[in-house]
Copies of this chain bind each other. A is one copy, B any other.
Amino acid sequence: MINIIQLGMGPLGCKMTNYIRDRKTVRTVAAVDPDPRKAGTDVGELAGGTAYGVEIRSDLRAALWSAEHRPQVALVTTVSDMERITPQIAACLEQGLAVVSTCEELFYPWDEAPELAGSLDQLAKDNGVALVGTGVNPGFLMDTLPAQLTAVCQRVDRVEVHRVQDASKRRLPFQRKIGAGLSPEEFASRKADGSLRHVGLTESMQFIAQALGWTLDHTEDIIEPIIVDEERVFPDLRVSPGYAAGVLQTGNGYIGDEAVIRLIFRAAVGESESYDEVIVHGEPNLRSRIEGGVNGDVATCAISINACRSVLEASPGLHTMASLPMVSNSR
């Protein structure tokens, strides 16, 4: 049994609670959220179920103090950027907790935030614990899995990953998030304020490059609307001709003039199919495809919970999915 303290009881944290609850080898023993309205609330009830016997506390020390069982791993589902998550994670490490976080920038922080990465690495080593950033994307489909597949390659020239999702069966908030139904001008403004951006393409590229022993000269992260020619009508949403059905985000990682890594994330209402595909150009060429694609919500919760065991087995320090013992489902 692995004892988990959850940090961040927003929608993702609540989902984690429910997923942890359905497992036999992990349990939530404490929970922290700074929102005063959540203080004292049972995590199970906040997550929409019956009481679980763990009350949310407003700070880490209070949560640790009140926990019936000593937590081993902090599962941190708070923010996406290194700047804001570093002090939160540092506090956990100082308490001797291993850390698994869905923070996108933590998945591979060595290029974009090397100083913060270095300080967390040192602090983890000082406290004899390991930490890792993971998730489905970044964390697996567009980075770890492609790198794992190259294990059977004698030579890799170029890596291409496609994550394509028909969002018409997803909930309206997700459809809104990818810009479905927006005019080109609205799309441009959402892009400008950063609220449309999928965080992590650059980290995924840097991870792949590091795994393959490549040094990228520069990277691009391009966001474009997918504009439709014909009207698309769905139960909750209508996309008029000339409007966006969703987003196309492309990450290009260059060595010299050549895009040796290309990550294509395409999510729109009315896409003809959903799939996750890895194409490795090299010796041999490989094309690996998950038909139907992987549901992001389930997968992000699952991989984070699955990583708890690996992070406890790992040597102290800041890990990536490449240095961690293999993450797999374990009951």
Q: Would you give the 0/1 interface string for A261-295, flagging 1 where the beta carbon is closer than 8 Å to chain B? A: 00000000000000000000011101111111011
Contact of A329 with B150 in the complex, beta carbons under 8 Å: yes
Q: Would you give the 0/1 interface string for A294-331, flagging 1 where the beta carbon is closer than 8 Å to chain B? A: 11001101110111000001010000011111111111
- Is A155 an interface residue when CB atoms closer than 8 A count as contact? yes
Contact of B298 with A283 in the complex, beta carbons under 8 Å: yes
Contact of B290 with A288 in the complex, beta carbons under 8 Å: yes
Contact of B212 with A330 in the complex, beta carbons under 8 Å: yes
Highest count of chain B CB atoms <10 Å: which of A22, A151, A289, A326: A151
- Is A79 an interface residue when CB atoms closer than 8 A count as contact? no
Query: Measured between alpha carbons, how far is A292 from B279 in the docked complex, in Å?
Result: 13
Query: Measured between alpha carbons, how far is A58 from B307 in the docked complex, in Å?
Result: 46
Q: Would you give the 0/1 interface string for A189-216, flagging 1 where the beta carbon is closer than 8 Å to chain B? A: 0000000000000000000000111100
Which of B282, B289, B303, B313 makes the CB contact (< 8 A) with A289?
A: B289
Chain B residues with Cβ below 8 Å from A140 are: 151-152
Contact of B150 with A148 in the complex, beta carbons under 8 Å: no
Contact of B287 with A326 in the complex, beta carbons under 8 Å: no
Contact of B154 with A136 in the complex, beta carbons under 8 Å: no
Chain B residues with Cβ below 8 Å from A322 are: 325-326, 328
Chain B residues with Cβ below 8 Å from A85 are: none
Chain B residues with Cβ below 8 Å from A294 are: 152, 284, 286
- Is A90 an interface residue when CB atoms closer than 8 A count as contact? no
- Is A19 an interface residue when CB atoms closer than 8 A count as contact? yes
Chain B residues with Cβ below 8 Å from A287 are: 290-292
Chain B: CB-nearest residue to A309? B213
Contact of A212 with B331 in the complex, beta carbons under 8 Å: yes
Contact of B151 with A328 in the complex, beta carbons under 8 Å: yes
- Is A156 an interface residue when CB atoms closer than 8 A count as contact? yes
- Is A122 an interface residue when CB atoms closer than 8 A count as contact? no
Contact of A328 with B148 in the complex, beta carbons under 8 Å: yes
Shortest beta-carbon distance from A260 to chain B in Å: 12
Query: Measured between alpha carbons, how far is A313 from B328 in the docked complex, in Å?
Result: 21
A284-B298 contact in complex given A148-B326, A322-B326, A328-B150, C-beta closer than 8 Å: yes
Cβ < 8 Å to B, chain A residues 138-171: 140-141, 144-145, 147-156
Shortest beta-carbon distance from A304 to chain B in Å: 10
- Is A25 an interface residue when CB atoms closer than 8 A count as contact? yes
Chain B: CB-nearest residue to A282? B329
Contact of B152 with A302 in the complex, beta carbons under 8 Å: yes
Return 12 A-B CB contacts under 8 Å, by A number. A23-B154, A144-B151, A147-B326, A151-B328, A152-B299, A153-B329, A154-B298, A154-B305, A283-B298, A321-B326, A322-B328, A326-B326
Q: Given contacts A151-B302, A211-B328, could you give 5 more A-B pairs where the C-beta distance is less than 8 Å?
A: A151-B327, A154-B329, A212-B331, A286-B294, A321-B326
The 10 A-B residue pairs with the shortest CB-CB distance, nearest first, are: A152-B299, A213-B330, A150-B329, A322-B326, A154-B302, A153-B329, A151-B327, A211-B328, A147-B328, A150-B328
